[in-house]
Every structure is written in C-alpha cells, then in structure tokens.
Amino acid sequence: MKRALLLAAQKSLHPNPAVGCVIVKDGSIVGEGATDDGGRPHAEIMALRESGASARGGTVFVTLEPHGHRSTSPPCTEALIDAGVSKVVIAMLDPNPHVSGSGVGKLEEAGILVEVGLEADRAQQHLLHYSHSFSHNRPYVVMKAGLTLDGAIAAKDGTSQWITSREAREDVHRLRAGLNAVMVGAGTLRTDDPLLDVRLEGYQGHQPHPVVVSGTTPLPKRARIADREPLVVTTGGDLPWGRPLVVAPDENGLPDLTEILSGLLAEGYLSVLAEGGAALNGALWDLGLVDKGVWHLGAKVAGGSGLPVLAGSLDTLAKAVDVTIEDIRMVGPDIRCEFTRR
C-alpha cells in the first residue's frame, strides 16, 4: 500500500482523484500504476495492463475504493472481477456519498475478499482536497501571504517586492504546483501583473490554472496572465481577455465569494491557492472560506505603517479566530508558518 500511495503522490489531477494501485502475487509485484494524465485510465486499469494474466489469483492494493458505477468508462470493479483477482485491499472508501461502498459491494458479490483501512490516514491526507469537495461543496482553499514581521504585506505606498527572500518565493512555487488553481483579485493583478505559474528550474509538471476576481474597476487591457487563458470571475459585462465565470453579486456589488468557490468546483477545481491582497484575503477569512494558511514572514519590519494581510472586520479580540499551527520552520532567512482554521 505504501508503494501505491507513492505512485498516487506523483500525480496532480482534477477533478479526478490521483489513485495508486499495486498488484501482488506470490510475494512479488506483477503490476502497478497510477491514474493516468487526464483522469483516465484509472489506476486499477493501468496496473492490470502491466500484470496481464499474472493478476489472476493476486492481491490488489489500491489507495481509493474502485468505482463500481458506469460513468465515462466501465467500472474498475468489473475489470478486477474479470481479471480473476482473489483479494482487494483498499486504503479508504470513496467519500462521494453517491458511490461510497458500491465498489466494495460489487467485489464482495463476486466472491472477492475485501479489506478496507490499510494506511487510511495517509490516503485521507493525500485525497484531502477530493474529500473536502464533498463535505463542503467547494474547493479546499489555501491562503498564501508574504508579510513583514509586524504583519504588513506592502508598504504604505503599496510596494511589496520583495518582502520575502528568493527561497521563500521558490517555496510558493512548490505550493502552487500541488494545487489546481491560483486566485487573485483585480487589485493585485493591476499592481503586480503576476503570471501565477510554477517557475522552478527543470520543472515540467502540473501548472495551476489562473483565476482573476474582477471587481468594480475595469481590468487592464493588457496583462501577462492573458496568454494563459485565465478564468475571470465577473458579475457581467465584457472582458478584455479571459474566459468569464459569471456569478451573482454580494451586498457590495462584488462577485459573491461563496458563489465563486461553488463555480470553481463546478469547473472541476478541487483546490485553490488564494494569492490576493488584503481585500480578497480579508473577505475570504471573514466568511470562513480559508482552510489553510501558508504565510512567509520576511526578515523585515514595516514600522507600523504598512498594509495589513487581512482587511477584515475584527473589532474585538473576543472575535479572533483560533488556528492550529501545523508547521513552522526557517526558509532561507524567513519564517514559514503553516496553520489551519479550528
């Protein structure tokens, strides 16, 4: 199962979960595979193709319950049954309430032994974003921020390059690589003109899709991000570039953030990195839409006159949100703090 989890971890897919599968017979691995790019074929099919006839009588280790329903491809349970495997060991059941348990049921009906729960904690962590989409009906949201030791994301005049070090910025690129989309507000777009891609030496893997939340101020006619065909969230009207995602406005006439996240999930994005400024960060935080924070504290002090990381509505400490600090360490000269909302 650890080998299957390792195979799954090498993939970054959406909206299909990345799954790993290993087939063992007589103490040896006869086939293995992970969900292919694009989500098809599934891991079980990839492993069965490699094992061939050797799969008969073997034991299958798979990180997620094989699907037992017919969608755009035949059920994996059907393929496992036809291959004549004797046992299937599953790390975790599918969190999709419409299919959870159906794969196990079909395998057992065919007389195949089924065991569930081996390395379940690791599998659940790996498939956190996939599971979160069913429990919250929105993508998993990570808020990234680079700030001074006294909590400013920019100086009073708006300058912010560079608060953090090259090492911290490289860490952000690695963070982007593990998420489906990167979202900024129109203000950050106009100020920084970011690309929102992964730029690491030798990197050729997954690139997150850029998302721009358009406010009341028109977008610039030109932006570097335009060539990446970003998804532009708007309440309506013409856009100079990008593919529109039209959502209802909130009470301030801005795109409703809850509707935005629901729309991104409908587009197939299971995880989003929020890289906005204080306004977007604060709005997400106030609505309870941030699941994890990854903040880099640069070795600088703004002197109390900088822009805050959150332009929120907190007016008394009694309303402060408790968080759990999951990890804190040095990245170059800076401090990396990772936390989750309680």
User: Catalytic residues, which ones?
Assistant: 44
Nearest to 43 by CA among 15, 24, 68, 62: 62
Detail the DSSP E strand segments found in 128-235. 140-147, 152-154, 181-185, 209-213, 231-234
How far is the C-alpha of 342 from the C-alpha of 330, rounded, in Å?
24
* Sole residue written with tokens 């997620």: 64
DSSP SS3 for 310 = coil
**8 A C-beta contact, residue 258 and residue 280:** no
Tallying the residues shown for the chain, one arrives at: 342
**8 A C-beta contact, residue 276 and residue 183:** yes
Distances in whole angstroms, Cα of residue 235 to Cα of each of 106, 246, 280, 281, 329: 46, 5, 16, 19, 41
How far is the C-alpha of 324 from the C-alpha of 340, rounded, in Å?
5
DSSP SS3 for 38 = coil
Residue 255 pairs with which residues in a beta bridge? 249
Q: What is the DSSP string of 171-198?
A: HHHHHHHTSSEEEEEHHHHHHH----S-
How far is the C-alpha of 106 from the C-alpha of 116, rounded, in Å?
14
**8 A C-beta contact, residue 144 and residue 277:** no
CB atoms within 10 A of CB 311: 15
How far is the C-alpha of 36 from the C-alpha of 185, rounded, in Å?
33
**8 A C-beta contact, residue 277 and residue 309:** no
How far is the C-alpha of 18 from the C-alpha of 277, rounded, in Å?
31
